Structures are given as structure tokens and as C-alpha cells.
Amino acid sequence: MPGIDLEKLLTRVSKPARYLGTEWNAVHKDWEENPVRMAFIYPDLYEVGMSHLGLAILYGAVNERPGMLMERAFAPGPDLEVLLRENRIPLFSLESRRPLTAFDVLGFTLQYEMSYTTILNILDLAGIPLLAGERTAGHPLVIGGGPGVANPEPVAPFFDAFLLGDGEEALPELLAVLGRLKKEGIINDRHRVLKVLAGMPGFYVPSLYDVKYNNDGTVAAVVPREEGVPGRVVKRVIQDLDAAFFPTRPVVPFLEVIHDRIMLEVMRGCTHGCRFCQAGAIYRPVRERDLSILLRQAEELVRHTGHEEISLTSLSTADYSRVEELARFLATAYAGQGVSVSLPSLRVDAFSVRLAEAVQQVRKSTLTFAPEAGSQRLRDVINKGVDEEDIMAATGEAFRAGWQAVKLYFMLGLPEEREEDLLGIVELARRILDQGRRLAPGGKPTITVSVSSFVPKPWTAFQWEPQDRVEVIKEKQQLLRTRLKGPGLRFNWHEAEVSFIEAVLSRGDRRLSRAIVAAWRRGARLEGWTEYFNYSLWEEAFRDTGLDPAFYAYRRRRDDEIFPWDHLDFGVTKEFLMRERRRAREGLVTVDCRSGRCTGCGVCPGLGVDLILKGGSRDGAL
């Protein structure tokens, strides 16, 4: 079967290297010999999608198995989209350039809410009905995974199924089952296929559940429509990452992508327990990889990719029990080949900075820290577990080591926030600047304060909280902007309207799917990019559909409210989150369970798993 002939179009678009599919390590499996075929779709541009570790993992895990294949697809750039529509060419996979309709399964990763309209655009460009209920025999199964499935309800009508939790085992399992159904000739009985999926651990088939609403618009219940459909869907967890597949032949992009480097995943999960953080909740428990396995993977990755940088990735890499040995060893071992080591996120303490100093030869770049809040009181509210001494020690160490620029991440609009907390951001930035003038070589440091707006997320202690109104966020931004002026200080902030739409969608229910469709119809897509985000499209979409966004973003939830995602189980219990919410109000800190004290979040007993730590010395030598 011939692929789509793109050559003529490619000469007319910017960055044609996005669409080639002939990158090093791209897998071109034989179509006929592999009867179960899936396309992994990242609903954003190539440069963003190719920076996603999950894609590399699942691409490798599926393609190493016989009988199945996975190809990649991304959102086309706006220039190619116009040409595709003009020439009536359906959106295609990169490897074989087949139309997406040729695949059995299309898997979208839900990384952020602002990609939802792009998902619709991709389905439309592929010629696939947007609503799962309108798809018939012969249409691919459209499935979703990633952090967005923590509450997939706003996009539930677009998907045939979701996979909750880790995918490297569950996805090949699914494809194997579909292979069997295909062989048995029942793949075209869509309802039967969905019933089979619904019975598989970790898979949620939204069309098999009814949502009932209360008169006040809140959810009353989400219940299975049929027998054999579980009342609760529990997420999948890979207990032993050492035994799990990890790709050592990832695709090496031609273009410079956002994260253009080796991503060595040292662990999964984070137990700091920041109360605003969804990732910290839904990726529990912490599972570390063995040092010897990481060293072997790093060696293979350098040999198979030729990348010039190894990034030690995880939610909080400085926490990895053997991070120092690992980072130092890699930095020494590969220096001769021009390969450097980097740490993506630094914990706010001197240990992290000394570690970065030891391995990162290039000091010209900026060192980034996330104190998140400007006062100790508010940092305790959000359980950040960092005090001013840590912040001053970390930044001081950075200046002494030769860094000239420090970037600080804060959030505004946090629960319990007062004006003094915002002024605390300013004071902190100025103290760090003063310190930098004394310690930094040259005495002319730059402090960048980057402020995002708090978005209450499901599965966090703040899932009951309202978001600040857009006007209030803007006032707070203004307050900071006027005070964070002067030499050595830079201030940037996130667009308040984007955070508002994120807040609407993150805790939304199925009714919001109509607003997403309406926004897309009016032209919304690629909204993760400021140049493409247009708030008025959403205002019109809410007006068109009669939905009130304030109901979702600004409303404080009742303590006993049933959430749209309550039938999904990520391990963390609602009781724990409620307890954390109470402790937040009282300003009480909850310690990291790495220390050995269980905080009772419910994950380990609930999912039958355990923390995996790899011991070794920490903090000592540095």
C-alpha cells in the first residue's frame, strides 16, 4: 500500500524536517507482517512531541514486540494544515505516511489541557468523527493516556478508551488483545471490543458509564451502564522499573527539539507532597532504578544516539538515592566524547547546586529554582518543605560557583495567599539579588522571577479550592510588575486567561466537551503556543454552548462533593487529600515518606505496591 506523496507540499512549508519520518532509529516495520498497528499522536508540533519521554518509551516497547507496530504522528504546522485541507490530503503517520484511518488504534497523550482543541483538529484532519459514539466499524479505536487522564471527563466523548497509569506493559497487552480480536473477526463489533477493553485492568471506557447530575449542576454519580463494567478503574503501576522496558534506541530528531538530549529516567514518582502538585500524586509511589542499570542504559544511549548531553530526568532528580555517584560517574566517563550531563530540575538546597556544579561544565546558562511561594507561612501551606535558609544557601552556592543568572519560579493565587505573601516574593528576589552582587563573579547577576497562576488540579489537596478570578490575577501580576523593576531584576508571568481555561478544563465534566468542540470550530488549536491562543474563541464557545466557565474555575467545592473523576482510582485517597487540605489551612507541614514515616496517602496498600529506594550514600561527600 503506497503512502501519501508529500514531496511537493514539503517544498512549500516551514521546517519540512518535521514530517520526514526517516530520523535515525525511526522504526519502519513491515505493515503486512504486523497486523496490529497503532499510531502514537502527540497533539502538538513535532518539536514539542519529540521531547516527550513517554513517546520514546511506548514506541520502543510496542515496536520491539512481534506482530504489532507503532508509528508517530504530530499536529501539522499551520502552513501544512492549510495545504492538507486544500489538497484534501488526510493527516498521516511519519513512518509509512499512511493516513491515520489505516491504523487500528490512535493513541493520544494528554499532557496539558490546552492541547484538547488540537486533538479535535487532528481527528478532523484525519477524517475521523470527533465523537466516539459516531465512529463505526473500520474506524480506529481512539485512546488516551498521560496525566490528563487524572480527569479525562471533558474529553471523554472524543475517546473510545483511556489508559490510567504506566503504559509500557498495559499498551502492548491491549494491542495483543486487539490482535486476537482481529484474528477472530470480532474487531468490527465495536461494542464488544469496548466491553473487552473495559474488563482489562487500567482501561476506562467512558461510553460505558452514565453521568448523573444534581440540580445544582454538580455530579451526582458516575455509574456503569452494563454488567461486567467495573465501578472503579484503578491505574496501572509498574512496580519494578528495573525489569520494565526502557528504550536505548530512541529516535534522534533532525530538528532541534525542545529537549534535544538523552533522557535517562532515574526514577518515577515524587513523594515531596507539594499540595498543589498533581504529578506528585498520580505518579506515586516513588520507584528508583538501579545504578548499574542506569549506567548500562546511558552507555547504550550514547552509542545509539550520538547525543551530546545526558539529562537525568524525573520529577525531582536530586532525590534519587544515588544521584551523586551517577552524575559524577557519567560526567567523567563521557567527557572525552564531548558528552555532558545535566540535571533538569534543581531542588532548592545547596546539595543540588553543588551537584550541578560538579557535573555541569557550562556555567553560562541559568540555574532555576522553584520556591513557589514568597513567605514561609505560604510555603508551609503548600507543603513546599523549603525555608528561606535553603533558598539563600542554594542561590548563594550558585553565585559562588560562577552562575550569573538565577531564575525563580513562583505561583500566585495559591489558597490562603495574602498580599504580604506576594510582597514576600519581591523581598526574596531582592535579597537574592543583593547576595548575588556580593558573591557572583563580576557582581552583576540577573534574577528572573517567573510567576505562573495557580490552577487547582484533581488529585491534589487543593482540588476543592476556587481559582482566583482573572481580574484578581491580573491585579496581583501588576502589583509584582511594578515592584520587580530595576537593574538585575526581570519579571515574567503567564497569561491569566490561559490559566483560567486550564482551571475550567482540569476539573470539568463531560458537558464541557461541547465547549471544546465549539472553541475548535471557531479556530482554536495549538493553544500551548501564546501566538495561537485566542481567549475570545473560548468566550464565544461558552456563549454558544450555554456553559458557565466560572462554575468550574471559581467555585469552591463542598467537602462531600462528588467529583467527575471519583470513579477513577490513582491510589491516593480522598480522605488523605482532605486531611492534607486541613493541614494546609493550619500551616502544618507533612514530611516526605522517603524518611520512612508513612503519611497514609493510601497508594501502597491500595494498589498493592511499595516505595522502591536504592540506598547508597547521600549528601555526605559534597
307 or 579: CB nearest other proteins: 307
253 or 436: CB nearest other proteins: 253
CB of 300 to other proteins, least distance (A): 11
Q: Are strands 209-213 and 219-224 parallel, antiparallel or unpaired?
A: antiparallel
CB of 337 to other proteins, least distance (A): 6
CB of 246 to other proteins, least distance (A): 19
183 or 303: CB nearest other proteins: 303
46 or 552: CB nearest other proteins: 46
**Sheet harboring 446-453: ordered strands across?**
367-372, 405-412, 446-453, 489-493
Which residues are at the interface with other proteins (CB under 8 A)?
A: 10-11, 16-17, 20, 22-24, 252, 254-256, 302-308, 335, 337-339, 361-363
The C-alpha cell at 261 is 538530549
CB of 308 to other proteins, least distance (A): 7
256 or 559: CB nearest other proteins: 256
What distance in Å separates the CA atoms of residue 564 and residue 562, rounded to the nearest whole number?
7
255 or 604: CB nearest other proteins: 255
Mapping DSSP onto H, E and C, the string for 252-313 reads ECCCCCCCCCEEEECEECCCCCCCCCCHHHHCCCCEECCHHHHHHHHHHHHHHHCCCEEEEE
342 and 312 Cβ atoms separated by less than 8 Å: yes
What distance in Å separates the CA atoms of residue 369 and residue 315, rounded to the nearest whole number?
13
DSSP 378-398: HHHHTT----HHHHHHHHHHH
CB of 360 to other proteins, least distance (A): 10
CB of 296 to other proteins, least distance (A): 17
What distance in Å separates the CA atoms of residue 221 and residue 238, rounded to the nearest whole number?
30
Cis peptide before 285 (omega within 30 of 0): yes
CB of 361 to other proteins, least distance (A): 5
What distance in Å separates the CA atoms of residue 68 and residue 125, rounded to the nearest whole number?
25
What distance in Å separates the CA atoms of residue 14 and residue 306, rounded to the nearest whole number?
26
What distance in Å separates the CA atoms of residue 508 and residue 548, rounded to the nearest whole number?
11
14 or 136: CB nearest other proteins: 14
28 or 485: CB nearest other proteins: 28
Q: Which of 271, 430, 264, 428 is nearest to 347 (CA)?
A: 271
CB of 304 to other proteins, least distance (A): 7
CB of 328 to other proteins, least distance (A): 18
291 or 298: CB nearest other proteins: 298
Other beta carbons less than 10 A from residue 223's beta carbon: 12
